[in-house]
Structure 1
Amino acid sequence: MENKEMLIVDDLMNQIKQKKIQPGEKFPSENALTEMYKVPRMTVRNAFNTLEERGFIQASQGKGRFLKGKSIQIKLPLTGDTSFTEKMEQMGYNLQTKNVLFKKVDYNPSIFNRLHASENENVYQVVRLRYINGEIIAIHYSFIKESTVPKIVEEGPEILSMFRFYRQQGFKKFTSNKSILSVTFPTLEEQQLLECKSMIPLIVVETDCTNKETNQILEYTKILYRSDTFKYDISTIT
């Protein structure tokens, strides 16, 4: 990106941070910024495209570009002792879950090793989308070994809450041995599922769910959270 484009991006980002541009407020037009910064119109357009890729702009054809609404703050559960569904319901969020994929997965050492599964064992993946107030917040990937939870083959396509499913199988208390937090950018498939742009950072939480009574690993979980629409509070989780 050219320096002038970056200067415009940085200037507009500073205005957003300083609340000089409020959520829902219209940005100045391309013509106005072209005159203000003394640059070609394409330079301004490219700067706007960058902000849109980062998730700050809501474009409306014929009306202009607007700053996206204020992010909703979500308390993010990082531990495996309470399910995402239960935590969101307890905190009063309007949560919806959609099971979008269930399939047997090919051998992948990083997944199978987390489950203590051998190369020849059957491992299944449950993929669910999470919505808060009608907006997509995250993709949940759950990986389960068939020998640990045989009913997964039959009920996997309908599962909305893994913990509720496990309780139906006789498991009562849960914990996690380790949670890893990182950042990534969405693949093309993830962009389509999350309805986001390629440059929207995703917060990645990898953890396991373990039967607290026997320390048996029930699943390996990978969750991708959108960072453009939601803010996450990880300081007061109980």
Structure 2
Amino acid sequence: MPIDKETQIIDDIMEKIITKAMKPGEKLLSENKLADQYNVPRITARNALTTLEARGYIYSIQGKGRFLKETAKPIQLHLTGNSSFTEKMQRAGYRLTTKNMYCTKISYDSKVYDALRASSEAEIYKIGRVRFIDDEPIAIHQSYVNQQQFPNIAQEGPLILSMFAYYRQLGYEAFTSKQSLLSITFPTSYEQKLFSCGSMVPLIVLETDCIDVQTQKVLEYTKILYRSDKFKYDITMNESR
């Protein structure tokens, strides 16, 4: 089945990006020139460029045109293993910073409550942090914890940058997980602002739990959103130390 002209324009430009026939900062053809080249209405060329911009491959400057974005070096990330995101990034030598965005009590959510093995009357708090590498936002971590297990979480939660570090302060030493699920989503308007990205940049979603090895208590349910264009994902079972 033949592809439509808009898709063909997108595919042809993507091929140039992948093969490095275009260089970062290089100016793309104007809408008019693309329309002439592909013998299509200008709106078709505009839609193709708008799609590429929404996906995060190009950017526009008012009055000057559209340009190819600088490609970031992918960050290798182990999705398995029993160490924290902070520890993984620090071991790999990245300059990681974290900003605590919120600590708020959530309404009843059966998925979260079941994962935490919490009663329906329990008060569950969500702690959100944005992770930056070289000052660029690359991940949003959301940790759900039971106040019955962490009585001071409402006061201490807004100060937490690393959940593992917090747990160690409370005497927990080793952690594991029993289930991890991967999926794909697209950012909400709020997440677009946090990530500084467009609506069509796919996000990798990792949902997992954190369990204390010694007591087998579920410490938290975790949902992490990763910018898919910033990582290479290592899914080998044994994380290299």
Say whether the fold is shared (TM-score over 0.5): yes
Runs (4 or more) in structure 1 with deviation over 4 Å come to none
The equivalent of 2:79 in structure 1 is: 78
Give runs of aligned pairs for residues 79-98 of structure 1, distance below 5 A: 79=80, 81-98=82-99
Q: Greater CA deviation, 42-51 or 53-62?
A: 53-62
Give runs of aligned pairs for residues 94-113 of structure 1, distance below 5 A: 94-113=95-114
Q: 2: distance between equivalents of 1:190 and 1:141?
A: 12
Contact kept, 8 Å, 2:80 with 2:235, in 1: the verdict is: no
The equivalent of 1:170 in structure 2 is: 171
The equivalent of 1:231 in structure 2 is: 231
1:208 corresponds to 2:213: no
Contact kept, 8 Å, 2:105 with 2:123, in 1: the verdict is: yes
Contact kept, 8 Å, 1:80 with 1:208, in 2: the verdict is: no
Structure 1 position 235, deviation (Å)? 4.5
Contact kept, 8 Å, 2:78 with 2:235, in 1: the verdict is: no
Structure 1 position 110, deviation (Å)? 0.6
- Across the aligned residues of Structure 1 and Structure 2, the Cα RMSD in angstroms comes to 1.6
Structure 1 position 98, deviation (Å)? 0.4
1:128 corresponds to 2:129: yes
Structure 1 position 13, deviation (Å)? 1.3
The equivalent of 2:33 in structure 1 is: 32
Q: 2: distance between equivalents of 1:217 and 1:79?
A: 18
Q: Greater CA deviation, 193-202 or 215-224?
A: 193-202
Change (3 A) 1:231 1:26: farther
Q: 1: distance between equivalents of 2:78 and 2:41?
A: 47
Structure 1 position 131, deviation (Å)? 0.7
What is the CA deviation profile of residues 171-210 of structure 1, one whole-angstrom value per residue up to 9, with x for unaligned ones?
1111111111111111222222222211111000111111
Structure 1 position 80, deviation (Å)? 5.6
Equivalenced residue count is 236
Q: 1: distance between equivalents of 2:220 and 2:73?
A: 29
Q: 2: distance between equivalents of 1:177 and 1:118?
A: 20
Q: 1: distance between equivalents of 2:81 and 2:216?
A: 12
Contact kept, 8 Å, 2:206 with 2:224, in 1: the verdict is: yes
Q: 2: distance between equivalents of 1:80 and 1:155?
A: 27
Q: 2: distance between equivalents of 1:74 and 1:206?
A: 20
The equivalent of 2:9 in structure 1 is: 8
Give runs of aligned pairs for residues 118-157 of structure 1, distance below 5 A: 118-157=119-158
Q: 1: distance between equivalents of 2:141 and 2:81?
A: 14
What is the CA deviation profile of residues 157-180 of structure 1, one whole-angstrom value per residue up to 9, with x for unaligned ones?
010011111111111111111111
Q: 1: distance between equivalents of 2:88 and 2:5?
A: 46
**TM superposition score normalised by structure 1:** 0.93
5+ long unaligned stretches in structure 1: none
Q: 1: distance between equivalents of 2:188 and 2:205?
A: 13
Q: 2: distance between equivalents of 1:81 and 1:150?
A: 25
5+ long unaligned stretches in structure 2: none
Q: 1: distance between equivalents of 2:202 and 2:41?
A: 29
Paired residue secondary structure (1:150): coil
Q: 2: distance between equivalents of 1:75 and 1:145?
A: 32
Paired residue secondary structure (2:49): helix
The equivalent of 2:193 in structure 1 is: 192
Paired residue secondary structure (2:45): helix
How high is the sequence identity, in percent, across the aligned residues?
A: 51
